[in-house]
Structure 1
Amino acid sequence: MTTTSPPSSQERIRLRNQRLQRSKLLAVVAVVACILVATIGTRLSDPEKEFRVIPGKLDEKVMINGAELTVSDVRVGQILIQDEAIEAKATGIFVQIQIDLANPTGTDKAILGHSRLLSGDRVYKTYSSLNNIGAEPGYGETTDFLYEVDPAAIDDLTLEIWTQGFLFGYHDRVRVHLGITPENADRWREAAQGGMLTERRISASRVLQ
């Protein structure tokens, strides 16, 4: 009969370390698998145009997710001013839009965290880091969204703005035509030549009556 000696203290430590390493490896594999599943799930649950379009008009309130959104004061230029100094010059045209969000009856903060400009098949993302607006219950917020666009592709320029969580799903998006049409696009391009815009980096807050 073969007699097996009990493992030494060093052997026990070595075996324990091996078990710990295997456990860590399995944990890492599990995390990676979860990330991959989450990524695939997000992509699969975000088919193009899985949203409802809410049409809006310049200078008129439109309701989205229980809050009041007003889009107004469209300005164009090529030079961005900050603290009385030139911060940036556009290779195309800067388009600046005033966004107001009021939350008079909600119990949670209203947030619009995504936006873009559309011109036919062209899509323009926000230019600056200030690309969202939020209003606490009983408050209103006003700020500016800034975009850089190709002057040759501004016909029927339309703002699309919405909120959406990490896991994409069916949601509402407001679309507001900015008043730039094929008939007046040349006047907008001329107005932008050498024009200066001041970037507002924080939103203005007010208490709703």
Structure 2
Amino acid sequence: MSGQQAGQPQPASHARRDRVIAILLAVVCIVVTGIAVELSDTLGDLKARRTVRVGESASLNGGTVTVTKVEAGTELSDGGTYEEKIIKTPGMFLAITISYRVPGEEATVGGLGGLALEASGLTYKPFGNSILKVRAGYEGTGTLLYQVDPKQLDDAVLTLDHDEMFYVTPQQVRVDLGIDDSNAAQWYRSAKGRVLRPDDQSERPIR
């Protein structure tokens, strides 16, 4: 029977060729990865940024995003149906409600850039679901939850990003939450002993 039997070792020339192909593929992957990182780093300085206040709307990724409400508390419900459990913090919880109207194609708030709260030079990350995805023709509503230090809340800003590697100009909406050194203590006093019960993410058709 002619040809190479299954399980027999390949000729040395074939083995060398396979090694060369593997090395070339590895080099290509390294080069592509390097280009992607460089593009991402470069575009990070070229974001289309817009700053608004609570209640004001801004365009983001084909939709319109609005922070409709900001609530503070020191206790957080887990939303249990049969037995509610309460989580407490020595700091403060912030529950930030956002709406996202998407008249065109399905879109998201979050993505690779995430949803960060910046204050006093610190960056707070949300816990739980940090992406709001809305179908075309709908308005989605969701609540972002943050655990923060009430003594580190000067110039609190929520950043809503839509970053993708191959976007020409990444987009960012910055929402001034109206919290700074002059009123942070007041926010904390009003939050003490308050239980936050954020609503689940929901959608409704745009009329």
Interval of TM-score (by shorter of Structure 1 and Structure 2): 0.7 to 0.9
- Report how far residue 189 of structure 1 moved: 1.5
Q: Which deviations, in whole Å up to 9, do the C-alpha atoms of 1:26-60 show, x marking residues without a partner?
A: 55545543443343223212244331211212112
Where does residue 127 of structure 1 map in the other structure?
127
What percent identity do the matched residue pairs reach? 26
Where does residue 174 of structure 1 map in the other structure?
173
Where does residue 93 of structure 1 map in the other structure?
92
- Report how far residue 100 of structure 1 moved: 0.3
Alpha-carbon distance between aligned partners in 1 of 2:140 and 2:96, rounded to the nearest angstrom: 14
TM-score by length of 2: 0.80
Gaps of 5+ in 2: none
Check 1:34–1:152 CA distance in 2 against 1; reply closer, same or farther (3 A cut): farther
Q: 1:56 aligns with which of 52, 59, 63?
A: 52
Alpha-carbon distance between aligned partners in 2 of 1:89 and 1:78, rounded to the nearest angstrom: 6
SS of the residue corresponding to residue 15 of structure 1 reads coil
Where does residue 112 of structure 1 map in the other structure?
109
Q: Which runs of 4+ in 1 moved over 6 A?
A: none
Q: 2:31 aligns with which of 37, 45, 56?
A: 37
- Report how far residue 196 of structure 1 moved: 1.6
Aligned length: 196
Q: Alpha carbon RMSD of aligned pairs, Å? A: 2.8
Where does residue 207 of structure 1 map in the other structure?
205
Where does residue 19 of structure 1 map in the other structure?
14
- Report how far residue 148 of structure 1 moved: 1.7
- Report how far residue 178 of structure 1 moved: 0.7
Counterpart contact for 1:112–1:162, Cα < 8 Å: yes
Where does residue 71 of structure 1 map in the other structure?
67
Gaps of 5+ in 1: 1-8
Q: How does 1:138-157 map to 2 (within 5 A)?
A: 138-157=137-156
